[in-house]
Structure 1
């Protein structure tokens, strides 16, 4: 018999291999196939194995659960599932939304006595880069694997994923110190433009993967919020360049 399960916490090829090995070692399991992009595992069993037993075999960073089958003929059930998924998505995005809120608040407080939109945007972009690069730095080994799942350049040039957190740090310092702002704005358009292309493609393909914007420390789904987050930075960069030139 075959069963499909949802698995969260996987970020790279080594995670996939670890999950497959752990599940394959359980008695009565004859085959395990893990799909990293979908976050799913198809398990072939001789006898049914409880989810609790499957969970015990995995490292604590992974969570396994039975994949729910949707009844397309039941509109009420379909709506209930959608509502649960939407609530879960908002809960997962809570760290991202809180971080953006705090960055925006700090940027406002820095200039509320002598308001300037340009200064606000520069500090917002600077703090944005510094904070987001910090989370990426927490797992420099795992971040490139997650990042290349949707960033076109990181897929083709693996080294780009390794240096990306340092690029963000450098851009953040340039904005906060008002150093070579024009260059920092142009690099922002290029870097985030490339990432946004990958994010857009992922959303259109309706793939279920993790967003690496906050590294691997926090589990964030790839959603429209990721696209909006990049779009805000791109719009700010364009407005600043228009003001400068």
Structure 2
């Protein structure tokens, strides 16, 4: 008997979660084939005998103290996978923004004057360096989450693995003030494409995890992400128009 079954899952947040569940299910004596995906969060299996939701949950229970479980069909609603969209949820982004503004203020204080172009250069450099850092902490997890909404990563999965290094390169280029015209043009293009994917995800009204800070923070996709990407596009364009 080779029976296909699909089980919606709760608790997945990154590629590591997918790997853990896949390995655990492959150890089940009645499961012949396993495919676990992050988006949608589900396990597709082929079994020698039909398994119930309770069977699956009992088998998955040892993983991370029961963090992962099947959404039972008898449940009225699945537990929310992402936090509510409020100021507390986006606290990491707010703190990061405050740090970047503090760096700009310190630079202006040291120079004895404020220059808009210089402020934008430092902000964008710090932005890309910080965001790439969090993404690189779990590169595979970021790539999996990013592929759920980014237009390029959907078509070319490898782009999700390359993107953090693009951000890192742009951040270093901004801080070193290397080829500002080229760097700003590349930034405008890369962030505009990213913005299109974010807009599509937000307008779809689906609950999607934002990968802007990698998998370290569990942030929901929202208008905050649109503002974040849109701001970078506008700043890159403004930098292109300002005298160097």
| Pairwise CA distance, 1:201 | 0.5
- How do residues 206-225 of structure 1 correspond to structure 2 at under 5 angstroms? 206-225=205-224
Partner Cα separation in structure 1 for residue 101 and residue 140 of structure 2: 30
**1:173 is paired with a residue of what secondary structure?**
helix
Identify the residue that residue 100 of structure 2 maps to in structure 1. Answer: 103
**1:158 is paired with a residue of what secondary structure?**
coil
| Pairwise CA distance, 1:116 | 0.9
Whether the 8 Å contact between 1:38 and 1:208 is mirrored in structure 2 is: no
> Once the two structures are superposed, what CA deviation does each residue of 1:13-71 show, in whole Å capped at 9, x if it has no partner?
x6346437758989xxxxx99773355789x986968x8x788433369466979847x
Q: TM-score, normalised by structure 2?
A: 0.74
Indicate which of 89, 93, 99 corresponds to 1:92.
89
Partner Cα separation in structure 1 for residue 97 and residue 242 of structure 2: 24
Structure 1 regions of 5+ residues with no counterpart? 27-31, 71-83
Identify the residue that residue 81 of structure 1 maps to in structure 2. Answer: none
Aligned pair in 2 of structure 1 residues 215, 88: CA closer, same or farther (>3 Å)? Answer: same
Structure 2 regions of 5+ residues with no counterpart? 1-6, 29-33, 45-49
Identify the residue that residue 192 of structure 1 maps to in structure 2. Answer: 191
Partner Cα separation in structure 2 for residue 168 and residue 212 of structure 1: 13
Identify the residue that residue 180 of structure 1 maps to in structure 2. Answer: 179
Whether the 8 Å contact between 2:117 and 2:239 is mirrored in structure 1 is: yes
- How do residues 45-194 of structure 1 correspond to structure 2 at under 5 angstroms? 56-59=61-64, 62=67, 69=76, 88-90=84-86, 91-112=88-109, 113-194=112-193
> Once the two structures are superposed, what CA deviation does each residue of 1:155-176 show, in whole Å capped at 9, x if it has no partner?
2222322221111111111111
Identify the residue that residue 3 of structure 2 maps to in structure 1. Answer: none
| Pairwise CA distance, 1:184 | 0.7
Aligned pair in 2 of structure 1 residues 111, 25: CA closer, same or farther (>3 Å)? Answer: same
| Pairwise CA distance, 1:128 | 0.3
**1:244 is paired with a residue of what secondary structure?**
coil
**2:11 is paired with a residue of what secondary structure?**
strand
Partner Cα separation in structure 2 for residue 102 and residue 59 of structure 1: 34
| Pairwise CA distance, 1:117 | 1.0
Partner Cα separation in structure 2 for residue 152 and residue 85 of structure 1: 23
- How do residues 9-48 of structure 1 correspond to structure 2 at under 5 angstroms? 9=13, 11-12=14-15, 15-16=17-18, 18-19=20-21, 22=24, 36-37=38-39, 39=41
Aligned residues: 228
Partner Cα separation in structure 2 for residue 106 and residue 60 of structure 1: 41
Identify the residue that residue 243 of structure 1 maps to in structure 2. Answer: 242
